[in-house]
Chains A and B, each alone.
Chain A
Amino acid sequence: MSRVIVVTSGKGGVGKTTVCANLGLNLAKKNYRVCVIDMDIGLNNLDVVLGMENRVLYSMQDVLEGKCRLRQALVEDSTYPLLYLLSSGNVAHNLSIRPEYIKAVIDELKTIFDYVLIDCPAGIDAGFNRSVICAEEALVVTTPHLSSIRDADKVVTILSTYNLSSIKFVVNRARGDLIIDKLMLDVYDISKALKIEFGGVIPEDDNVTITQVQNCNRLDYKIPSHKAFLILSDNIETGSKKLYDCTYKYKGVIGGMRKFFKRKI
């Protein structure tokens, strides 16, 4: 049974694409056939985050215009052969793409893949509608900042009008040192405000940026964000409610010193 999950946020720059890419990678590692779709037409970046930008030949627009078959537009990941990318075109004239055309493409993908992950564009306009209307579940990405949570709340309100079986949220860029001092909202506070279940929490981690600079999206097993993404994929896969503890590094005497130096330096 295939699952179609849209990764959305409302606010831009919160890490939708990073969450979508890493969720796709981790599900593929678990031997699921996964297709990640970049629906940010004209402002596509999922190919870059996955390190596949030089291998994209055809886009979803080419499929819709009949220039290629769907299977020709799918780009296979070099490390995880069960992960595929369907890139969107980098041309901004996307107004003619109707949701029902995209739905037809996704219906075909559902016959091939176990998971279809849709990277939704920021905002709540036509691109958002196109992405959400094709999905069965939604994952709302937010950072622990008020502006982002506010937008997430508005998005959750809009999502509730669609026919979705589940709406969960992911907190990205959580900082344990600030959460422990109550200077940043934790996942439970946000869950209470949004009135939906959490899917996971991803800590702020420089390694995410570094791996993208190095043109690969393979997070090292030892780094915190990798563990957090693994937990997120477990939660999505099984419906469990495990949570990565961002604050563990800042507990105790050594943790207190680490926190002190992190703030001062």
Chain B
Amino acid sequence: MELISRLDNVIKKDKQLNPQYMKDVIKSDIFYLLNNYFEVEYSDIDINIDLTDNNMYSININAIGDRMKAMQILPR
């Protein structure tokens, strides 16, 4: 049991690294996507990546949009 919990901790610790670069890349992609549908500011997008107890990533994206774009101008 001790071995399993040590292994679990080691892997969890490695995954807990939360690279800012990765967040920035995701943020710019999300900004590009949302900008097709809403008027959003880059600074109004917030991304959080956390590790759950079973070593899975929980990815939370919060964004505030000013107004929705008219459907006629939506990209195909």
A interface residue numbers (CB < 8 A to B): 146, 149-150, 153-154, 182-185, 189, 193, 195
User: Number of contact residues on B: which range applies?
Assistant: 10 to 19
What is the distance, in angstroms, from A246's C-beta to the closest C-beta of chain B? Answer: 16
Given A150-B14, A153-B14, A154-B14, A193-B3 contact (CB < 8 Å): no
Interface of B: prevailing SS:
helix
Interface of A: prevailing SS:
helix
Q: Mark B27-65, 1 if CB is under 8 A from A, else 0.
A: 000000000000000000000000000010000000000
How far apart are the CA atoms of A182 and B1 in the complex, in Å? 7
- Contact across chains for A183 and B3 when beta carbons are under 8 A apart: yes
State which of A150, A153, A182, A195 has its C-beta within 8 Å of the C-beta of B3: A182
How far apart are the CA atoms of A214 and B14 in the complex, in Å? 42
How far apart are the CA atoms of A18 and B11 in the complex, in Å? 27
- Contact across chains for A185 and B14 when beta carbons are under 8 A apart: no
Closest 6 CB pairs of A and B: A150-B10, A193-B7, A153-B11, A189-B4, A185-B3, A146-B7
B8 at the interface (CB under 8 A from A): yes
What is the distance, in angstroms, from A167's C-beta to the closest C-beta of chain B? Answer: 16
B6 at the interface (CB under 8 A from A): yes
- Chain A residues in 8 Å Cβ range of B8: 193
